[in-house]
Amino acid sequence: MPMPAKHLQQMQKMAETVSAYGELTGDETVRGIGQILGDVKFRAVLNEFHDSPESRRKASRNATAYCKRQGVKVPRGIKVTLKDNNWRASLCAKVEVFGVGIEYGAHYDSESGFGWGC
């Protein structure tokens, strides 16, 4: 079963928003998150997660590496995580501002869809 149509619409809207913000600010990490969200290979990975608990189990060990093996380009500085309970995948970037680590990103929850934050 692929990702629900409502979640796909959320993903496309979020990809557009994040990409536009990345272009506006020149922030390469934000651009990277937008590129991942707009990548059909990343969409295929999420569809696979909907269908396969075994794929989720394998990916939960190192979701960034798993996505890369599936052909998703994950830029440096971005980490993909997968929590396989309900299940939730996150795209997170951590930056330091004045010595304080700040995480930002987007997440996908198999029940509620896409949202902001890690």
pLDDT digits (tens, 9 = 90+) for 36-52: 999 999 999 999 988 88
As given in the structure block, the two tokens for residue 96 are 């330091």
Cβ-Cβ contacts under 8 Å for 97 (sequence gap 6 or more): none
Domains in the chain: how many in total? 1
Range(s) of the domain holding residue 89: 5-116
pLDDT for 108: 82
Over the stretch 73-113, which tens digit does the pLDDT of each residue have? 998 888 888 876 667 777 666 655 556 666 777 888 887 88
Positive/negative CA dihedral, 117, 35, 72, 3: positive
